[in-house]
Amino acid sequence: MQTEILKPNKETYSFASKLINEGEVVAFPTETVYGLGADATNEEAVKKIFIAKGRPSDNPLIVHLSDKKDIVKYVFSINELEQQIIDKFMPGPISLVLRKNDKICPIVTAGGETVAIRIPENLVARDFIKACDKPICAPSANTSKRPSPTIAKHVYDDMNGKIPLIIDGGQTTVGIESTVVKVEDNEVYILRPGKISKEKLESELKCVVHEKFKPGKVVESPGTKYTHYKPRCDMILVKTDVINTIANLYNENTKKGKKVVIFCKQESLKYFDGMNAVSIGKDSNEASHNIFKYLRDYENNDLIIAEYFDNGTMVDGLYNRMSKSCSGNII
């Protein structure tokens, strides 16, 4: 299969809509990461996502819509608290788990009774979905377990020959996947952290928000069951005595002949003078924007040593992705 990369315009949206309605898969940008989209009502089309990614079929997908008024078409009901989340945070980098109706294929939800619904903030994503006139289910547009794509080239590197079209909307703005939330017994639970933090949810909703990152037997949120986001080299995340530990690890491993790079805060660069160190941002927000791109850019090293970011408003989301990237190898 020939994979085309096209800029967003009316002709591209028309072509993408034709592909989606013929049961094909199209990669498209959102504000978080690039998604690998198919018609969520077409089981055969959705199967192509799992094949292209090499993704386990028990890992559910998020359904993307172009307008929040369309949510009612695909769920049984929306209670008052769920409606508040929709009104205050959509469009935006948040996915809300709701009880699905039979219009959404069971394969999308890994056989579960709920589906995560999202309205992207990215205008290219919404224009693409609107042109298709279908609910678009989409995981990140990368090979399973690889770092998620934040530019079209990342998608092409993983999906060339596997899908017919990539819509190139430039680099994503957020850089990590959406916050996933669910309302249970009139209380809000975060199933996966992202840009929209616990504190932001509590401030806007005027209620206590709980964190529930560990999945149950039936997975309600994507990105919580398997190792994800791994670069091709080893990686260590450092939280304890950060500066000294990173410097010692760097020296120990370079003496063994390993090619090592340090990912750190902007303010920490001065402590690693003479070492192969790069700043991935001044805080967790900037680092989240950069992390997946840097993981791909620097995976030709033997080892990445990454500093834990404790500042900014995306600490939990960034830590979640980095801890998975290093397969839990945390000091």
Residue 91: asked if its preceding bond is cis (omega within 30°), the reply is: yes
> Looking at domain 4-211, which CATH architecture does it have?
Alpha-Beta Complex (3.90)
**pTM for this entry:** 0.94
Domain layout of the chain by residue ranges: 4-211, 234-325
Q: Which residues of 125-152 are buried (b: 16+ CB within 10 A; e: fewer)?
A: bbbbbebbebbbbbbbbbbbbbbbbbbb
Q: What residues contact residue 247 under an 8 Å CB cut-off, 6+ apart? A: 271, 272, 275
Q: What is the pLDDT of residue 251?
A: 98
Residue 99 and residue 116: Cα distance in Å, rounded?
9
Q: What is the pLDDT of residue 220?
A: 55
Spell out, as residue ranges, where the chain has pLDDT lower than 50: 215-219, 226
Domain 234-325 part of CATH 3.40.50.11030: yes
Residue 163 and residue 209: Cα distance in Å, rounded?
39
pLDDT digits (tens, 9 = 90+) for 40-95: 999 999 999 999 999 877 889 999 999 999 999 999 999 999 999 999 999 999 99
Assign residue 54 a region (left: φ > 0; alpha: ψ between -120 and 50; beta: otherwise).
left
Q: What is the pLDDT of residue 228?
A: 75
